[in-house]
Every structure is written in structure tokens, then in C-alpha cells.
Amino acid sequence: MASKKVQKSLFARESSGLVREINWLTAMFISMGFIAFYVLPISYLSGLFISPNGLIVIGALLSWIVLLPHAYLWTKISETYQRTAADYVFASRVLHPAIGVGVGLVFGISQMIFDAAIVYDGVGQLQTGFSALAVNFGQPYMGIASFLTNPMIILLIGAITFSIVIAINIFLPRFTNQIMGAITIIALITFITTGVLMHFVSPYAITRAGYDYSSIISSASKANPLFSNPALATIGLMVFTASFLPFVNGATSVAGEVKGGSKAFRMGVLMALVAAGILITFFIASSVSSLPSSFYIGSGVLGYSNLLNPVFDVVVSNPNLPLDLFLVIGSYFWYLAIMFAVALFVSRYFMAVAFDKALPTIVSYVSEKYHSPVVAHLIDEIITISSLVIITVTPLSSAFFYGMDTADAMALLFGFIIVILASIVSISLKRGFQFNGNKYFMLAVSIVDLIVMSIYAYYWFGNSTIYLGINMNAETWAIIASPFIAGIIIYFMMRAYRLKKEGIDINYTFKEIPPE
């Protein structure tokens, strides 16, 4: 009897209390937002001068095709373990609990750092858009563009925007799905429209914007290819997508709240990558159909960041004020869609770790009135806004960006790869909780995914000054590994604390699936 009482007290609560109204379409929108594919063309086009001899459209196409096993694995994790932060739950039950807690904190912390960048870059996107409007229409758009370069204004707009996102998630969770859906639809319409119009961008428009088109084209010859072999150069281009496309676990983070069973997760995880991948391939193909690759390569060599932003190119090519305003303001919705997805994601990982009592129980608190994880969202708010302050108005900006550039590396090395290893361990050693379906097929999928992630990691860390903007040294590795190491330390500290103060061993919580 005493044993049963201890067992019942292990979990923070019998039910998470979250709103459980996420259907397959919303799950898909969350996944597409978390993949952050809307901003991927800017990154991809900016990277062309590194791999000028790569196959541009083929690289865009392959960048998501090679990740289909990755998306399928996370689909199966979501289907099999329909719990908050399902991949964390899976890894912590298959591997040692301390490793699982490390993975949970890596996903949460790395994405708060990433979200701060998205908030910052979102204001930068508006500034770029209004700069293009100024080319076509002069004032007042030139004044607005100049206004948006002020660091305090960037901080103010970013902080207000993100605070609204968090407030909606806390106080209006029943309407969050509809709001996110509306934002996503606007973002998708703007993205597709911009992609179509990229096909019609003309050299004349670039010249009219004040750039020497012929000089840009000729500067392409000054690019120093990272790889001479076209195949390796194409992979080099694909690596620029690795900061975005592997992040298929948006829907996985809210797996306990998704209705519709396995179909919802196939659509929410696997099809989200397919849809995003098709749209990216279309966008890149359209971009190089009107302007030669040498234009983007030369712009990269000369540091013309505006020209590497498709919204700028499209707006200066189409002096139509209603259309241009829609494209400029609508492109900000690309960043809003990402903010909503990441805010959901971060809160669920902190909540899940606290749910297992490896963080203070209050972090797992779900408001009975609003049915949202209030404390977890507030942690996200505080850390993300603090990061934004550092980026915009302090001398520590460059040092923070040094750490921020490693955020994706944290998630790749100490998040995704560890979960993949957990899958291999689970299947090959029949350890822990098992997947539904053919085990040998899932083992093959996991091994292929591990190979792809390892190749990306090899490129990232082998050419870190190019892909991460940093030199790999002891300090860098310490930054990358810090959330994972912190998670391990926190697990053992919380285990000792709970055992001493509450008389329970939290190790037992990791021997079963938490009730929700």
C-alpha cells in the first residue's frame, strides 16, 4: 500500500490540464512554423557564394528529401508516445534519465536563443521591406526604414511583439490555434506570392535600386569555393538548410494535445516537412529562373544583404503600393508564425521535465482557469526578452551572437543525434519502450537518419567559421555542451533533493510513461 502511495506521488499531477484541441492541420502549421522554412531561402541564397559550383535547385530538393527518414522517425515517436515533449519522454525512458533531462533542456534552451534571433530578425525584415518601399515611393517609407534601424526601437517592437505572443499562449490558449492558423495562412500566401514574383525580378529593377548590376555579376568570380567538387559543393549548400529543416519536432512537443491519432502525426510531422520542402524548392527554382546564380554569388561576395532578401528584390521590381505593403507586412508574419510555434515548443519541454520532477514542480503548473503552462511560458518570456536586450542594446551583442550561432549545433549534437541513438538502442537492444510497426524497418530508418545528421555535423564542425561563424575550441565546446551538462547535473541534484526532502526517488518516474 505504501509503495502505491509513493508511486502515485511521483508525478507532478495526474493530468496536465492543457487544452487538447490541436487537430492535424494545426499540428502541421506548428511543425511548419517550427521548421522556420519561411526564412530559409534568405539563408540558402546567402550561402551560394560559399558553394558557387553547387547544383542550386538540386541542393534545395535534396535538402528535405534526405530528411524524410528523420521526419518519419519523429512521426513514429509522436504516434507511439503521445505525451508532452514526446521525444524527450522517449529518450529519457530508453537511455539514462540524466541524459534525457539533458536532451530536454537542450531543446528548450537552444530554441529560446533561436527565438530571440527570430524576434530580432523579424524587425530587420520590416526594415529591409520598407527600404525597398523607399526605392519605389520615397517618403515616408525611407523615414520608417531609418526609424527601424534604431536599436531601442528594435528592442521595443520585438519585446512587445513577443510579449503579445506569450500573453496569447497564456490567457487565450483556446484561441491560440485559430490565431496561429490565421497567421500561418497569411505567411504562406505571402511566401508563395513572393516566390512566384521572384520569377519576374529584372536586372533593371536592381539598377534602379542603386546597385551596379554588372559589377555584382562580375564579382561572382571573386568567390572562394569551399569545395571544388560539385557533389560536395551541393552538400555544402544543403548544410545551410540544417539550421531549419531538421526541426520537425514542433508537433512532437505538443503530442499530448493533438487529436486524431496516428493520422494527425503523419500529417503534422512528416507532411509538414514535405510541404515545406516543396515550397522551398519552388522558391529557390523561381529565384534563379530570373536572376542568374552569379547575381546571388556576387551579392554575397560584396555583402549586399538587401539583395539576398527576396522581399526586397520583389518589391523594387513591382512598384505597386498595395501589393508591396502586403508583401512587406506579410513577410513579418513569417517570423510571427515561427514565434508562435517556438513559444509552444519551449514551454512544453520545460513543463515535461518538471512533470518528471527533474525541475521544480511549479514549472509544470497549468492554470486551472486558462489551461496553459503559465510558469513555463513566463520562463520563456524572461529569457527570450533578456536575450533580445543583450542583442540590441548592450556591448555583449557580439559575444551573445557567438553563443547564439551555436544554438542549432546544441540541438543537432545533443538533441537530435541523442534521440536517434535512443531509437537505435530501443530497437536493437529491445530496451525500454518499443515503436509500433516493423522494428527492422525502424532500425534502418534510424541508421539512415544518424548518417545524415552525422554528415551535417561533420560539415558544421569541420567548417565552423563558415556555417556557425565561430572557431571550434574548448570555450566553444563548453558553450555547445552547457545545456546538456547542466541537465545531467540538475537531474542528480533534484534526485538527491527529492529523496532527502520528499522521500521519493525520481528515478522511478522514468520507468513509466507519465500520465496525462
Output the 3-class SS for 190-241.
Answer: HHHHHHHHHHHCCHHHHHHCCCCHHHHHHHHHHCCCCCCCHHHHHHHHHHHH
Grid coordinates belonging to 59: 541542393
| Residue 467 pLDDT level (bands cut at 50, 70, 90) | confident
What SS3 state is found at 166?
Answer: helix
User: Mean pLDDT in the chain?
Assistant: 91
Grid coordinates belonging to 141: 517609407
Phi, psi of 22 (to 5 degrees): -90, 115
3-state helix, strand, coil in the chain (%, to 5): 75, 0, 25
* 400 pLDDT more than 70: no
Angle value at C-alpha 514, between 261 and 484, nearest 5 degrees: 105
Q: Which of 64-78, 101-115, 392-406, 407-421 has the lowest mean pLDDT?
A: 392-406
CA 117 to CA 402: how far, in whole Å?
12
Give the mean pLDDT of 334-354.
95
CA 331 to CA 226: how far, in whole Å?
31
Instruction: Please choose, from the candidates 129, 159, 116, 108, the residue with its C-alpha nearest in 3D space to the C-alpha of residue 358.
Output: 108
Query: Which pLDDT value is given to residue 7?
Result: 45
Q: Which amino acid is it at 209? A: A
CA 136 to CA 210: how far, in whole Å?
11
* 18 pLDDT more than 90: no
Query: Which pLDDT value is given to residue 408?
Result: 87
Map grid coordinates 535512443 to a residue.
Answer: 422
Query: Which pLDDT value is given to residue 236?
Result: 93
Phi, psi of 502 (to 5 degrees): -115, -10
Q: Are 58 and 234 in contact (CB under 8 A)?
A: yes
Q: Which amino acid is it at 40? A: L
CA 509 to CA 511: how far, in whole Å?
6
Residues 6+ apart with CB under 8 A from 331: 125, 129, 190, 194, 311
Q: What is the 3-state secondary structure (H, E, C) of 290-352?
A: HCCHHHHHHHHHHCCHHHHCHHHHHHHHCCCHHHHHHHHHHHHHHHHHHHHHHHHHHHHHHHH
Query: Which pLDDT value is given to residue 4?
Result: 44
Query: Which pLDDT value is given to residue 262?
Result: 84
Map grid coordinates 571550434 to a residue.
Answer: 472
Share of the chain above pLDDT 90, in %: 75
Instruction: Please choose, from the candidates 92, 16, 91, the residue with its C-alpha nearest in 3D space to the C-alpha of residue 495.
Output: 92
Query: Which pLDDT value is given to residue 118?
Result: 93
CA 310 to CA 478: how far, in whole Å?
36
* 399 pLDDT more than 70: no
The tens digit of pLDDT for each residue in 206-246 reads 999 999 999 999 999 999 999 989 999 999 999 999 989 99
| Residue 9 pLDDT level (bands cut at 50, 70, 90) | low
CA distances from 342 to 81, 180, 338 (A): 21, 12, 6
Grid coordinates belonging to 336: 510571427
Share of the chain above pLDDT 70, in %: 94
Phi, psi of 226 (to 5 degrees): -75, -30
CA 216 to CA 209: how far, in whole Å?
13
Q: Are 109 and 359 in contact (CB under 8 A)?
A: no
What SS3 state is found at 372?
Answer: coil
The tens digit of pLDDT for each residue in 41-89 reads 999 999 999 999 999 999 999 999 999 999 999 999 999 888 999 999 9
Q: Are 320 and 183 in contact (CB under 8 A)?
A: no
pTM above 0.85, yes or no: yes
Query: Which pLDDT value is given to residue 10?
Result: 61
CA 352 to chain centre: 19
Map grid coordinates 513559444 to a residue.
Answer: 343
The tens digit of pLDDT for each residue in 272-291 reads 999 999 999 999 999 999 99
Q: Any alpha helices (H) in 52-140, and if so which ranges? A: 56-65, 68-80, 86-94, 97-137
* 15 pLDDT more than 70: no
CA 43 to CA 467: how far, in whole Å?
11
Instruction: Please choose, from the candidates 138, 239, 202, the residue with its C-alpha nearest in 3D space to the C-alpha of residue 456.
Output: 239
CA 252 to CA 74: how far, in whole Å?
7
Query: Which pLDDT value is given to residue 470?
Result: 75
* 301 pLDDT more than 60: yes
Residues 6+ apart with CB under 8 A from 51: 59, 225, 226, 227, 233, 234, 236, 237
Total Cβ atoms within 10 A of residue 500: 8
| Residue 406 pLDDT level (bands cut at 50, 70, 90) | confident
